[in-house]
Structure 1
């Protein structure tokens, strides 16, 4: 995978991919950053990715997926993204810092545009405002959350508390203290210290999480 830009987003992404055993070619024009991450990433090259000839020499056109992690300069981000699209990279992902930036990236042909700061803000807002321990939102306002169980389900089985009919959410997983997560079955009983994985629409999850005055 090709990653352009070794800012916080690019480094975090590259490091995670390497930990998963993926081959990563990181392109960065800042000499200090290239030296800093040369030993921890698979391949780090000092080059200006806004120059399409530089990308061609690196073989960018041979990658099926590339990520534009440049975020400090919208102009540089757009130039890099255009180059990757023009080189025929099948999947171009790009980081956007605001909606206008994202709209430009989409219009020039980026296949996937992400808003890491915005997405992180949404996630943290749910963690702060609700009784949630983790929160992941998908399309159409559907989400999965990790939380402590509300009081009215503690000591009852999934079949008894009927979360789907009463709260419009599904309890899909449960983790008792000191044990691994396992799938929730109708006969699964929920303890006060268990951690549960719940899926549903965002508003329903929020109401379910707030159905208790428990504090973490």
Structure 2
């Protein structure tokens, strides 16, 4: 059953993101994308969740593990799809496989285990995300040291926000020689009450500043451990 607020395929062609599954991950994605002004069409089989979100963004009540249902709601017209179903491995794999068969250019799929992720990759998902594992990893870094924020981008490359070690305070970035000594790069500085500024060799770091640093996670952890 298609909600009256759902868009037709003609209206969604060449634009928007298809989100399948409105659990915590999928609903957070849909709400955030909608807030950012991105066109979203959500697909959910639970009538209760459909009713809950029907006034927030366009939504279709359907079983996306059925390829005919995806065809009817115009899934082929979307260049990006997010599979937020994680608790049912069978449904996650079936939905992802259906989108692969349709030739969806970008498929982002949620996985709840390494084995689940490998299956999704093998059947053709372009991006596999591990929300719980990623959140656990991020929070572990935040509670264990000086890091105020932690984002692992890919293959260990990470960006962190932290307080500057004492040895950098009062010096310019060029004078600290952080890159030569620790293999990390200070990419920005935020002083209290001031706008964020991209770091330059002459940018001076004070004890009250926050710095944004990039590099491999192990090197960043070593740098953040400095007093």
Answering whether residue 1 of structure 2 is matched by residue 3 of structure 1, we say no
Aligned to 2:88: 73
Aligned to 1:168: 183
Residue segments in structure 2 that go unaligned for 5+ positions in a row: 1-16
Residues 83-118 of structure 1 show CA distances to partners (whole Å, capped at 9, x for unaligned) of 111122111111000011111111111111111111
Task: Provide the rounded CA distance (Å) in 2 between the counterparts of 1:100 and 1:167.
Answer: 35
Task: Provide the rounded CA distance (Å) in 1 between the counterparts of 2:126 and 2:172.
Answer: 44
Task: Provide the rounded CA distance (Å) in 2 between the counterparts of 1:90 and 1:166.
Answer: 42
TM-score by length of structure 1 reads 0.95
CA positional deviation for 1:170: 1.1
Task: Provide the rounded CA distance (Å) in 2 between the counterparts of 1:140 and 1:26.
Answer: 31
Answering whether residue 132 of structure 2 is matched by residue 117 of structure 1, we say yes
Answering whether residue 192 of structure 2 is matched by residue 196 of structure 1, we say no
Task: Provide the rounded CA distance (Å) in 1 between the counterparts of 2:198 and 2:127.
Answer: 32
Match of 2:48 among 32, 38, 43: 32
Superposed structure 1 runs of 4+ greater than 6 Å apart: none
Residue segments in structure 1 that go unaligned for 5+ positions in a row: none
CA positional deviation for 1:57: 0.4
Residues 104-134 of structure 1 show CA distances to partners (whole Å, capped at 9, x for unaligned) of 1111111111111111111111111221001
Aligned to 2:30: 14
Q: What secondary structure sits across from 1:138 in the alignment? A: strand
Aligned to 2:114: 99
CA RMSD across the alignment: 1.0
Task: Provide the rounded CA distance (Å) in 2 between the counterparts of 1:13 and 1:89.
Answer: 18
Task: Provide the rounded CA distance (Å) in 2 between the counterparts of 1:4 and 1:45.
Answer: 10
Task: Provide the rounded CA distance (Å) in 2 between the counterparts of 1:202 and 1:160.
Answer: 23
CA positional deviation for 1:178: 0.8
TM-score by length of structure 2 reads 0.90
Aligned to 2:12: none
CA positional deviation for 1:52: 0.7
